[in-house]
A and B are shown apart, each in its own frame.
Chain A
Amino acid sequence: MWEYTDKVTEHFENPRNVGQIKNASGVGDVGSLACGDALRLSLKIDDNIITDAKFKTFGCASAIASSSALTEMVKGMTVDDAEKITNEDIADYLGGLPKEKMHCSVMGREALEAAIADYRGLSLPMAEGEVVCDCFGVTDLEVRRAIKESNLHSVEEITNFTKAGGGCGKCEERLSEILRQTISQGLKVVSVTHKSKRMTTLQKIKRIEDVLEREIRPGLKMDGGDIELIDVDGDFVIVSLRGQCTDCFKSQTTIKEYVEKKLREQVLDTLIVEENK
């Protein structure tokens, strides 16, 4: 049995604002029967202020509680403030949700966005993008957003928040790729400031080791390989591939396309990576 907070149980047992507003200013429809949960949020907006909110939800206790909480939260808010509500805000309002149920709060946020977009006569940006998870119809944009907003670090967490990967599991590889990309994009911003600095060899080694450990090894290890830093001589970085990578015909590509690219991005853009045979 799930461990729900008292507030989740209370909202589930006594949901607020059930129903549908006639002549609503904006309606957001998310989820589907096939997915196992769906939410229709309707908003009444006067002078940019949300004066009424009602919901209809098909789903489990936490989906119903999240919807109910959301309507309570947005009533009386300006549209601009409501727009800033995140799924974490909804979960916090309920005193937290089990991690496997975080997607219920994401559904709330998505419905709110959809209703606001409908009010403004705009189309939803998230629905564009490439569908990564066919089972639940989740796009790469939605996945990237969840990774950034909720600071996700594993495919399992992505599934808990977006449902992507929770069906047949065929998209897991793609999800971990998106995870790697999204995280490294975040890091790039930080590392840019270091890029042009002059570094001592020791600093260089330290930073190269860091990047290898954080970003390159995990990927190689998934394929049964590994990488070791042998030497740093000026701009030349000598590495050795281990395990499965040793006799992989793609090893040269790995070194140039992957390792060198990463190190150039994050350490120094003049680095040249060579393999120690």
Chain B
Amino acid sequence: MGTAEKIVYMDNNATTAVAPEVIEAMLPYLTDYYGNPSSMHSFGGQVGSAVSKARQSVAALLGCDPEEVIFTSCGTESDSTAILSALRANPERRHIVTTRVEHPAVKNLCENISTFTGHKYRLTMLKVSEEGMVDMEEYLSALSDDTAIVSMMWANNETGVIFPIAELAKIARDRGILFHTDAVQAVGKIPIDLSGLNVDFLSLSGHKLHAPKGVGVLYVKRGTAFSPFMAGGHQEHGRRAGTENVASIVALGRACQLAQEKMAEENSRVKKLRDKLEEGLLASVPKSLLNGHKQMRLPNTANISFEYVEGEAILLHMNRFNICASSGSACTSGSLEPSHVLRAMGVPFTAAHGSIRFSLSIYNTEEEIDFVLDKMPAIIANLREMSPFWPGD
């Protein structure tokens, strides 16, 4: 696909465009400043300073100390490191609590934990309501003296539903249980201040907030026992071996600064665009419905089901207009069943297969929203015309 083509990109929960400011900040570390931050000469040392500066920017966005920030290769690595570290720190505890709507990075690790630890664990996967919220009562009754870690996402990648992390983490802390949150979708989109929270581990991913792919962060609260994921050099104070991905770390630092500057815009202008898109679609397309809690939701995400049609077919018709989005349908999930998130929420099959996720960013414009609102009704009507289940308008 030619780069000159105008792309209407509404798939920012999948990945984001690297911000021009970010590219500008990282480029010198791919050209002139190629030194190793661990070197004893000042040519390398100056690169080390750039990494420290990036660490401060990440810490500023998260409301934590720079020493609590460990750079990793991605959100998945951060998730695995946190959960496996917590299990090693509490070898006598053999119970994990998580939810049914976690990202595969957490879900697949927890479901196959014995492969990675060599031990059997009891796993509680908390149910969610129709709106995608956890049930506090069920959460409370799941926790026990045997629970080693609770891992719950801050915001859901498919629906944007936000969990009450402050409250959930406090409940775990009060019972002496470690708490991890996969905040890959939340960081940069909603304000986060870890200073007052009982969160022990937090994962984030650079490419979800306009930094490049291949860099992430694991926040580890000061005082929380930690053991590294892989063995090797002393980088990241011995907590994450391997020569630093300097240019991407610098990029992530810059991206975090930008996210902080644009947080208000994300939560006002972007949210308005999202609401316009969502309300417009729900009004113009019959038998369409919103998936996820209407209020407790990221400002950029709208997950809408179009009943009686299938998601992949919708996406490929949108693709003809260069509109990019995602679907929770079976055919796009790479499996034969629709999204585990929508199924956990009890979204009926008639709607789950036809779910489309629109996820916006600060780069989207009102014209783009109007363009999508103009194209979608005909796409859906056309496919419904073809559907044996469509009862007619």
Contacts and interface: CB of A to CB of B under 8 A. Distances in A.
A148 to B, nearest CB: 22
Nearest to A165: B336
A265 B108 CA distance: 44
A63 B309 CA distance: 12
B329 interface: yes
Contact of A61 (B313, B349, B388): B313
Interface stretch (A37-45, A88-96, A242-250, A269-277): A37-45
A225 interface: no
Interface stretch (A28-36, A77-85, A170-178): A28-36
Interface in B287-336: 308-313, 316-317, 320, 329-332, 334-336
B68 interface: no
Given A13-B320, A33-B353, A33-B389, A166 B335 contact: yes
A61 B335 contact: no
B388 A136 contact: no
Interface residues of A, number: 28
B385 interface: yes
B336 A163 contact: yes
A33 B386 contact: no
B387 interface: yes
B301 to A, nearest CB: 21
Given A15-B386, A29-B388, A37-B310, A60 B349 contact: no
Contacts of A40: 388
A12 B338 contact: no
Given A13-B320, A33-B353, A60 B388 contact: no
B231 to A, nearest CB: 30
A165 B349 CA distance: 19
A36 B330 contact: yes
Interface string B322-361: 0000000111101111100000000001100100000000
Q: Interface centre among B313, B317, B385, by most A CB within 10 Å?
A: B313
Contacts of B308: 33, 58
A33 B309 CA distance: 9
Contacts of B310: 36-37, 58-60, 63
A59 B337 contact: no
Contacts of B316: 12, 61
Contacts of B329: 36, 60
Contacts of B309: 58
A186 interface: no
A59 B353 CA distance: 9
Nearest to A55: B386
A15 B336 CA distance: 24
Given A60-B310, A159-B336, A34 B349 contact: yes
A55 B329 CA distance: 22
Contacts of B317: 13
B388 A39 contact: yes
Given A13-B320, A59-B310, A166 B337 contact: yes
Contacts of A58: 308-310, 353, 386-389
Contact of A18 (B320, B350, B386): B386
Interface in B154-195: none
A167 interface: yes
Contact of B336 (A2, A61, A166): A166
Contacts of A57: 386-388
Nearest to B308: A58
A2 B337 CA distance: 17
A61 B383 CA distance: 11
A158 B351 CA distance: 27
B337 A135 contact: yes
Contacts of A136: 336
B389 A64 contact: no
Interface in A64-123: 64, 100
A89 B312 CA distance: 24
Contact of B389 (A13, A38, A135, A167): A38
Contacts of A33: 308, 349-350, 353, 389
Nearest to A31: B388
A58 B386 CA distance: 7
A39 B387 CA distance: 8
Nearest to A103: B336
Nearest to A160: B336
A25 B329 CA distance: 34
A59 B327 CA distance: 13
A56 interface: yes
Contacts of A36: 310, 329-331, 336-338, 349, 353
Which 10 pairs, one residue from A and one from B, show the smallest C-beta to C-beta distance?
A166-B336, A60-B331, A60-B312, A56-B388, A40-B388, A36-B330, A58-B387, A34-B349, A61-B316, A36-B353
Given A36-B336, A38-B389, 20 more contacts: A12-B313, A13-B317, A33-B350, A33-B389, A36-B330, A36-B331, A36-B349, A38-B388, A39-B388, A40-B388, A56-B388, A58-B308, A59-B313, A60-B311, A60-B331, A63-B313, A64-B313, A64-B386, A135-B337, A159-B336
13 contacts: A15-B386, A33-B308, A36-B329, A36-B338, A38-B388, A58-B310, A59-B313, A59-B331, A61-B312, A63-B313, A100-B334, A159-B336, A166-B337
